[in-house]
């Protein structure tokens, strides 16, 4: 499983790593919203990780059965269930990585911002509990609109005096996963080799695949660039419409989130070769938050890979400027929400 999440170049490194150090199953992960469409398959994938010793599943309902079911898999981690606000603190104590896919998903015709009114409060309350019970944990925010929920989480952590910007992540891995898949299909490349950085944010035009930075080096016509960019930006909507009211992307999202969890655990475990695109507090642009490729280490974000944003094509330069007003507004909406509550 570890190998299947990692780009080829990192696989050799991981195998070596495994050989020399025999990774211990030692990290504790909590999933908040574990009974949901994303939460269930994500919990299954995390249950398969050899780096996890304890898996805490939290939801407001229906989580007992999910935990009982998963606990029968003969993989190392011990699964425990927690239901409702009164059990939230115990779900979080001692946790190293908290993943938050709690909240409502989109229905056809909705934008991610339409989810704001419900999900903003859910993220605020869950992150507040994280601040009280496991302030040193890596926090992975999946709940949309990520462009606003991450700034909300940052404000809540600041209000509690425990904000570490290196450890708060908006999960944008699905945008990278989609970009890699669509580019490999279009250019007939071996999937495992393809790596496209995706920057900006996680909604509509704020999702910007940097196709000029695709590895391996590949050239696109202007028409291909336009088509691929728009498809990657609208891929979530493609799924929402295909599911026709039954939810948004859950399986591909679970896959992507599990990859981000595995990367975080490898970083915590001392692997010096872990890179992911993610929406974080950033000085890469003038905006306070921006998704870009970062190097992950034991303490979270260790470095920003700014070279991705240098030498962009004209199309990409324009797209970066075009996305900034929307991204800025979504960030400010999140900050406003959190400061009004304080």
Binding site for ligand NAI (CB under 6 A): 32-33, 35-39, 59-61, 101-106, 115, 119, 122, 126, 142-144, 146, 171, 174, 202, 247-250, 253
**Residue 37 vs residues 105, 150, 261: alpha-carbon distances, Å:** 9, 21, 17
Tokens 């299947």 belong to: 4
Tokens 């025999």 belong to: 22
CB-based contact 183:214 (threshold 8 Å):
yes
Least gap, CB of 206 to ligand NAI (angstroms): 12
Closest to 273 in 3D by CA, of 305, 248, 245, 247: 305
CB-based contact 142:100 (threshold 8 Å):
yes
Question: How many CB atoms are closer than 10 A to CB 104?
Answer: 17
Measure the CA–CA gap between 292 and 280, rounded to whole angstroms: 8
Does 202 participate in catalysis according to the annotation?
Answer: yes
**Which C-beta is closer to ligand NAI: that of 39 or that of 300?**
39
**Which C-beta is closer to ligand NAI: that of 76 or that of 247?**
247
CB-hemisphere CA count at 13 Å for 156? 25
Least gap, CB of 85 to ligand NAI (angstroms): 8
**Which C-beta is closer to ligand NAI: that of 61 or that of 244?**
61
Instruction: Read off the DSSP letter of residue 30.
Output: E
Least gap, CB of 338 to ligand NAI (angstroms): 16
**Which C-beta is closer to ligand NAI: that of 105 or that of 151?**
105
Q: How far is CA 232 from the centre of its chain?
A: 16
Least gap, CB of 112 to ligand NAI (angstroms): 6
Nearest residue by C-beta to ligand NAI?
36
**Which C-beta is closer to ligand NAI: that of 111 or that of 219?**
111
Contacts of 265 (CB under 8 A, 6+ apart): 27, 29, 49, 51, 52, 96, 97
Question: How many CB atoms are closer than 10 A to CB 45?
Answer: 19
Least gap, CB of 284 to ligand NAI (angstroms): 20
Query: Which residues are known to be catalytic?
Result: 202
């Amino acid at each position: 499983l570890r190998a299947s999440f990692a780009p080829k170049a990192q696989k050799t490194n991981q195998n070596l790593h495994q050989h020399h150090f025999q990774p211990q199953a030692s990290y504790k992960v909590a999933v908040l919203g574990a009974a949901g469409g994303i939460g269930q398959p994500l919990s299954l994938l995390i249950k398969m990780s050899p780096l996890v010793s304890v898996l805490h599943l939290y939801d407001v309902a229906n989580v007992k059965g999910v935990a009982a079911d998963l606990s029968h898999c003969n993989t190392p981690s011990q699964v425990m269930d927690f239901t409702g606000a009164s059990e939230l603190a115990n779900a979080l104590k001692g946790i190293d990585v908290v993943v938050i896919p709690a909240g409502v998903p989109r229905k056809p015709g909705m934008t991610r911002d339409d989810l704001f009114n419900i999900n903003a409060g859910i993220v605020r309350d869950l992150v507040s509990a994280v601040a009280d019970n496991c302030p040193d944990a890596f926090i992975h925010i999946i709940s949309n609109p990520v462009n606003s929920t991450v700034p909300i989480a940052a404000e809540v952590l600041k209000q509690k005096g425990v904000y570490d910007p290196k450890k708060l992540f908006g999960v944008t891995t699905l945008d990278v996963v989609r970009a890699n898949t669509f580019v490999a299909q279009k250019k007939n490349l071996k999937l495992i080799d393809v790596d496209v950085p995706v920057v900006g944010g996680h909604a509509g035009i704020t999702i910007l695949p940097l196709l000029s930075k695709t590895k391996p080096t590949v050239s696109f016509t202007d028409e291909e660039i336009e088509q691929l960019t728009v498809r990657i930006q609208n891929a979530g909507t493609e799924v929402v419409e295909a599911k026709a009211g039954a939810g948004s992307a859950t399986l591909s999202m679970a896959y992507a989130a599990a990859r981000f969890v595995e990367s975080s655990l490898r970083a915590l475990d001392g692997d010096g070769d872990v890179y992911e695109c993610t929406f974080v507090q950033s000085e890469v642009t003038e905006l306070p938050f921006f998704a870009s490729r970062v190097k992950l280490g034991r303490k979270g974000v260790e470095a920003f890979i700014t070279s991705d944003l240098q030498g962009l094509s004209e199309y990409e330069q324009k797209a970066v400027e075009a996305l900034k007003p929307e991204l800025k507004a979504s960030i400010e909406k999140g900050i406003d929400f959190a400061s009004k509550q304080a």
